Structure 1
Amino acid sequence: MTDAAPGQHMRAEIAEQPQVFAAITARQAEIAQVATVLAERRPRFVLLAARGSSDHAALYAKYLIEVLLELPAGLVSASTTTLYGAKPDLSDVLYLVVSQSGGSPDLIEATRQARLQGALTVAVTNNPTSDLNSAAELSVDIGAGKEIAVAATKTYSATLLSLYLLIDAVRGGHGTDAMDLPALAAEALSTMESPVTEAVARYRYVERMVTTGRGYSSATAAEGALKLAETTYLAARAYSGADLLHGPVAAIDSDTGVVAVTSAGKGGEAMREIVQAVRQRGADVLAVGSAAQDMPASSRIPLPTTAEEVAPILEVLPLQSLALGLSLARGGDPDNPRGLSKVTRTL
């Protein structure tokens, strides 16, 4: 990796995503086989466990489960099991573990314990031979292929798509709203280059950025902030649009760059007032998404329109490219961010 040009691997893996999406949508029937078991077991509610980028994918899944399946869902803390030894009754509970590597020790142990406590455990990973897959009763292979860059790009979006196909199949769907994503992702990548370049020029010298979104797009905002922080070393924070107005907005001024994720649908429409409020504080607001053109923002990166529940799979693409561009513009190498590795070794 040291002989490669800075950002070479991240750039290549961003560009690879349309092909990755095509491969995953072609496996919809395979993913649906796991969904059949979940539907038959009829869980009372769903718990999701994850770390890092996968935690944001789990947040996306939480919205899918609560809206599409109308089941309560929550994000668990693995440390309640691994550090504190808690053993809750998990009978009739779906325990969905999301981990790109499948190698995080705390997630592996938490999955083993959840299974012992009666949960139906499902691992969603990019490594079908991982210890996490062995610990879980069922597994879904996201099939993104080897990812070399430390910052997750194609594995993150592939996880979102796999989770959507799984959850949609539980309700009897066939992934119809996702089938155009390979072509739409290719379109997005081809049209966003110029506005991303402009955004890099606008934000190159800022030291503070905020990302925000509502509904399904909350996950995109969280992932965007992580990508910016880990590749550019900016102080980047993500807030739900609703939470942003309850205090954090006081810290936003003309020196703050704000990325507002605003795709067509209820979540995007709810962002309009928030974007306006942030603009009134003097912040430079970049609107990203299929509703970006209709937002009172400083600049925009428009994306193709999709069903709202699959929009995050496209929304993250320009945020990945923005992080790549800003890292390079600031003299960094996003393929080798300091202090990071592909697997989080927490207990």
Structure 2
Amino acid sequence: MAADIAEQPGGYARLLQRDHAGPIAEVAAAIVRRQPRHVVFTARGTSDHAALYAAYLTEIRLGLPAGLASPSAITLFGARPDLRDALVVGVSQSGGSPDLAEVLRVARDQGALTVAVTNTPDSALATAAELTVDIAAGHERAVAATKTYTAQLLALLMLVEGVRAGGDGALPAAERAALDALPGLAERVLADPTATDLAPRYRFAAQLVTTGRGYAYPTARETALKLMETSYLPALAFSGADLLHGPLAMADPDVPVIAVVGSGPGGAAMRDVLRRLGERRADVLVIGAGADPAGAAAADRPAAAITLPDVDERYAPLLDILPAQRLALALAVARGEDPDAPRGLAKVTATR
């Protein structure tokens, strides 16, 4: 897992190279030609969080309605929704889960344009789709996905921005320049030992909450999953808005909270959440460019912070998740677990 995490800056640079960026632009151009009226994503596990990020991008950047499909509606209940004028995107590291491939097959039969976003371009998912985006992450050693997740994020970002650019799907110069800075920024984030140093703080935690708004919400969900996978720590993920609608009641000094806070509108919306957590005397760790621990600090309980480079909120998930991955790895080791071989899990999970 440590090796996979360390490879992510190189993975960003590789995906941005012409031989990978070019094919993504071609898929984007094909989408522009079809002019879909709405977008449906289908995924499982970690990939589901990448798909959620892409849904935010699609609605905010393209102005198209977007949502996540329920594969069981098709695979278990036999639904055949009318998907004419739809773009259906399957997101999967392995591309090997039968239910996701079946969703794309049915969607294609029902008139949708289908795209597979996968690390395995010869997989069943890619075969079922009309178009394929190769995330080019390389072999992932650990069961808990890290570098394939961030490669999915970047590939989906490039795809959506390519569609927004129109025409040949090529990224505008300013967008390309901002993305080209990400590998160096990721190196900088991974060089910071703060996340590893904080692991003992949560060694004896019985449960944990993660939270974020907008683009940060998928990061909160992925952070919770990584903690559950590697440390077997029950972790509940909520949007900042949903946290205030009831779950805040369980926040107290014995329930740590990891809040992902950017510097844009989503981060600004988290200020009241942090204030309320401070009132509850919760043990808060704030991660992100907007990580001001003072906002969540109780008088007798200072909050912790991992402050990250200030980038456009669209790009922040590619950096915010990195210290969370490092924290999950270090915490698993601190609790005497093996993060490379989580009990009961396999690299490819086949669901129907």
TM-score normalised to the size of structure 2? Answer: 0.94
Distance 1:125 1:236 in 2: 27
Task: Work out whether 1:309 is the aligned partner of 2:308.
Answer: no
Equivalent residue number for residue 50 of structure 2: 57
More displaced stretch, 154-163 vs 277-286: 277-286
Equivalent residue number for residue 120 of structure 1: 113
Contact 2:209 2:235 in 1 (8 A): yes
SS of equivalent residue, structure 2 residue 211: strand
Task: Work out whether 1:90 is the aligned partner of 2:94.
Answer: no
Matches within 5 A, 1:16-31: 16-26=7-17, 27-31=20-24
Matches within 5 A, 1:162-177: 162-172=155-165, 173-174=171-172, 175-176=175-176, 177=178
Distance 2:115 2:294 in 1: 39
Evaluate the alpha carbon distance shift between residue 271 and residue 286 of structure 1 in structure 2; reply closer, same or farther with a 3 A threshold: same
Distance 2:183 2:59 in 1: 26
Contact 1:48 1:73 in 2 (8 A): yes
Q: CA offsets, 1:250-281, max 9 Å, x none?
A: 11111011000001100011111101111211
Matches within 5 A, 1:238-253: 238-253=237-252
AA of the residue aligned to 2:37: R
AA of the residue aligned to 1:68: R
Distance 1:214 1:29 in 2: 32
Equivalent residue number for residue 134 of structure 1: 127
AA of the residue aligned to 2:11: V
Task: Work out whether 1:330 is the aligned partner of 2:335.
Answer: yes
SS of equivalent residue, structure 2 residue 49: helix
AA of the residue aligned to 1:162: A
AA of the residue aligned to 1:178: L
Q: CA deviation at 1:30?
A: 2.3
Distance 1:300 1:321 in 2: 14
Equivalent residue number for residue 233 of structure 2: 234
Matches within 5 A, 1:1-347: 10-26=1-17, 27-172=20-165, 173-174=171-172, 175-176=175-176, 177-191=178-192, 193=193, 195-293=194-292, 296-297=295-296, 298-347=303-352
Q: CA deviation at 1:233?
A: 0.6
Q: CA deviation at 1:294?
A: 6.2
SS of equivalent residue, structure 1 residue 210: strand
SS of equivalent residue, structure 2 residue 48: helix
Contact 2:293 2:304 in 1 (8 A): no
SS of equivalent residue, structure 1 residue 256: coil
Runs of 4+ in 1 over 4 A off after TM superposition: none
Give structure 1 stretches of 5+ with no counterpart: 1-9
Distance 1:198 1:275 in 2: 22
AA of the residue aligned to 2:310: T
Contact 2:286 2:305 in 1 (8 A): yes
SS of equivalent residue, structure 1 residue 291: coil
Contact 1:96 1:122 in 2 (8 A): yes
Evaluate the alpha carbon distance shift between residue 220 and residue 90 of structure 1 in structure 2; reply closer, same or farther with a 3 A threshold: same
Sequence identity of aligned pairs in percent?
Answer: 55
Q: CA deviation at 1:89?
A: 1.0
Q: CA deviation at 1:17?
A: 0.4
Evaluate the alpha carbon distance shift between residue 183 and residue 241 of structure 1 in structure 2; reply closer, same or farther with a 3 A threshold: same
TM-score normalised to the size of structure 1? Answer: 0.95
SS of equivalent residue, structure 2 residue 209: strand
AA of the residue aligned to 2:90: V
Q: How many residue pairs align between the two structures?
A: 336
AA of the residue aligned to 1:203: Y
Taking only aligned residues, the RMSD between alpha carbons, in angstroms, comes to 1.0
Distance 1:295 1:227 in 2: 27
SS of equivalent residue, structure 1 residue 309: coil
Give structure 2 stretches of 5+ with no counterpart: 166-170, 297-302
AA of the residue aligned to 1:12: A
Q: CA deviation at 1:295?
A: 5.1
